[in-house]
Amino acid sequence: MRAIQDPTAETPLQATVNGASVEATVESRMLLADFLREDLGLTGTHLGCEHGVCGACTVLVDGAPVRSCIMFASQIDGRDVVTVEGLSEGEGLTDLQQAFKDNHGLQCGFCTPGFLMTISGVEPSDYPDDDSIREMLSGNICRCTGYGGIVDAVKQVWGRAQ
Amino acid sequence: MKPPSFLYARPDTLEGALAILDEHGDDAKILAGGQSLIPLLNFRLARPRVLVDIALIDQIQTIGDNNGTLSIGAGVSQGDAEQSADVRRAAPLVAESIGYIGHLQNRNSGTVGGSVAHADPAAELPAVLTTLQATMVLRSSGAERMVPADEFFVGPFTTALGSGEMLYEIRIPKKPAARSHIIELSLRSGDFALAGVAGQLTMTGDVVGDVDLVAFGVDAVPLRLTEAEAAIRGREPSPAVLEDAAALAASAVDPSFGDVHADGAFRATVVGEYTHRVLLEVTR
């Protein structure tokens, strides 16, 4: 991350997004979610509430799940970002994505990228039981599934009895 | 739902940040984790002309455990503070309370200092730092001053921070013999607290020595429960004494402080019950 000593309306940024190097100059006010969707075409990151409540826009920054709708694009300078497009290396589904499919962890799918990124960015050992898994998922809102299928998907991919 | 235009700076020295604050005064805001500020910008409830990102100022990103005092730099993330062995040992109430702040995604970005400077009446850290009798270290160009937590929070979203001043560090006096606990009620996990109580207590033999009890979400600023504290200080923590203190805590809450989610009478009941539970835990 580079210093910007004087206040500026446009900010240069250089970052890694899904393993690729990205260089751009953005309006200082541009949100990370909008940069990903509109400048990079990574529309898998969804915008729901746009004030940090629903979790649909969750991405990984330096490995940690964060809300891309309440972070500026300028704040990823020098950092590593992973979006839902970066989960799978090829065309197929990852084990986590397959687990969502197997367990009816999605219906309309709007919230799914956010859930996938949150689950991808946490340590299973920090969430040893169902209650703690539900707590971990509480920062992502799903209006279709009632969450049961999502909890089952997490348990499947973490190798726990369902 | 997009932020208004602003000028953005990310100085790598404290002096650089303070110089920008000095030049722009109230038109400049500090950007720390952005978990409260950026929603306000998205809603256009705030329109600062200049944002000063403090992510590159190394000296405010550290946690220090010196003799007698735990210091937390204003830029330390909530997640890092929650996981810090120093914080867990020297100020376990801080680590416990951070678990209640938003969701893990917010805590990864949000900072301890940001929550304190934002001063939401329902926020945990302002109440906890009041409980722990912490001191806020404020810096401005060429000056430093210390403000105790009891005087730092002056109203909803309003603190003792003046124009050109920024929160630099939080100093918490260590009390190795004390026990502490926090409980809050919210509609859903991660929501703002409807009401909560934080407490710290030290026993002197069989009687209560120092005791600090603070409620939050029930007043414009963290509400020190002075009558409840006085009711147990110097006394044996018998069931009757604890129940008396809990009743005094409930009666300290202004019954007109309510909103659509919970009226003041309900919040007062919660503060009484949670004061009782906190006292049972710390005198166990």
State the pLDDT at residue A56.
Answer: 98
- Quote the tokens at residue B136: 């806020």
Q: B271 near B195, Cβ under 8 Å? A: yes
The kind and range of the H/E element at B40 are: helix B37-42
The stretch A101-125 carries a mean pLDDT of 98
Choose among B3, B12, B190: nearest Cβ to A3: B12
| Terminal-residue alpha carbon distance, chain A | 43
Q: Which of A1, A70, A122 sits opposite B35 (nearest CB)?
A: A70
pLDDT given for residue A91 in this prediction:
84
- Cβ atoms within 10 Å, residue A73: 26
pTM attached to this predicted model: 0.95
3-state SS class at A7: strand
Mean pLDDT, all residues of chain A: 97
Q: How confident is the model at residue A40 (pLDDT cuts 50, 70, 90)?
A: very high
Burial B265-282 (b: 16+ CB within 10 A, else e): ebbbebbbbbbbbbbeeb
Q: Which residues of A touch B6 (CB under 8 A)?
A: 9, 28-29
- Contact yes or no for B2 and A135 at CB 8 A: no
Give the orientation angle of helix B264-282 with respect to helix B239-251, to 10 degrees. 150
Of A34, A64, A138, nearest to B103 by CB-CB distance is: A138
For the domain made up of B58-173, give the CATH fold: 3.30.465
pLDDT tens track for B23-69: 999 999 999 999 999 999 999 999 999 999 999 999 999 999 988 99
User: Averaged over A6-26, what is the pLDDT?
Assistant: 97
What pLDDT was estimated at residue A161?
86
For chain B, residues classed under CATH 3.30.465.10 are 58-173
Give dist(CA A153, CA A103) in Å, integer: 6
Closest residue, chain B, to A34 (C-alpha) = B2
**Chain B residues with beta carbon closer than 8 angstroms to that of A67:** 35, 105-106, 109
ipTM tops 0.90: yes
> Which residues in chain B are classed under CATH 3.30.390.50?
179-282
Is A135's CB within 8 Å of B189's CB?
A: yes
- Amino acid A89: pLDDT: 85
CB-CB contact of B38 with B83 (8 Å): no
* Signed CA dihedral, B84, B90, B91, B96: sign only: positive
With contacts defined as CB-CB under 8 Å, which chain B residues touch A63?
none
Tokens of B244: 């008396």
Name the closest residue on chain B to residue A51, using Cα atoms: B39
Residue B251's closest CA among B239, B269, B224?
B269
What is the β-pairing status of strands B50-53 and B207-216? Answer: unpaired
A156 contacts A103 by C-beta, under 8 angstroms: yes
* Burial environment of residue A19 by CB neighbours within 10 A (0 to 12, 13 to 18, 19 or more): exposed
DSSP β-ladder status, A10-17 and A80-82: parallel
Rounded Cα distance between B127 and B183, Å, is: 12
Residue A40's Cα: distance from chain center in Å?
A: 15
Pairing of strands B158-159, B153-155: antiparallel
- To the nearest 10 degrees (0 to 180), the angle between helices A112-120 and A130-137 is 120
Angle between helices A112-120 and A148-157 (to 10 degrees): 40
What pLDDT, on the 0 to 100 scale, is given for residue A90?
A: 82
Q: What is the pLDDT of residues B167-211, one digit of tens each?
A: 999 999 999 999 999 999 999 989 999 999 999 999 999 999 999
Give the integer Cα–Cα distance in Å for B255 and B25: 38
At B277 the pLDDT is 98
Surface-to-core class of residue A159, CB atoms within 10 Å of its CB (0-12 exposed, 13-18 middle, 19+ buried): exposed
Q: In terms of CA atoms, which chain A residue is nearest residue B80?
A: A64
CB count within 10 Å of CB A39 equals: 13
Lowest mean pLDDT among A23-27, B66-70, B226-230: B66-70
* Segment holding B208, helix H or strand E: strand B207-216
Nearest chain A CA: its distance from B27 CA (Å): 12
Residue written as tokens 């005064």? B25
Architecture of the domain spanning B7-53: 2-Layer Sandwich (3.30)
pLDDT in tens, A47-99: 999 999 999 999 999 999 999 999 999 999 999 999 999 999 888 999 999 99
Extract the tokens encoding B28. 């400049």
CB contact under 8 A, B7 and A8: yes
Amino acid, single-letter form, for residue B78: Q
Please give the average per-residue pLDDT across B108-132, as a whole number: 97
pLDDT of residue B59: 95
Query: Do residue A4 and residue B11 have CB atoms under 8 angstroms apart?
Result: yes
Going along chain A from its start, the domains and CATH numbers come out as 10-86 (3.10.20.30), 95-157 (1.10.150.120)
Average per-residue pLDDT for chain B: 97
Spatial distance between the Cα atoms of B228 and B208, rounded to a whole number of angstroms: 12
pLDDT at A162: 79
Residue A31 gets which letter from DSSP? B
Q: Are B182 and B197 in contact, with CB atoms under 8 Å apart?
A: yes
Q: In this structure, what are the phi and psi dihedrals at residue B45, rounded to the nearest 5 degrees?
A: -80, -20
47-86 of B, contacting A, C-beta below 8 A? 50-53, 55-56, 79
Q: In CATH, what class is B179-282?
A: alpha beta
Assess A29–B contact: CB distance below 8 Å, yes or no.
Answer: yes
pLDDT at B276: 98
* Closest chain A residue to the Cα of B106, Cα to Cα: A66
The predicted pLDDT at position A85 comes to 97
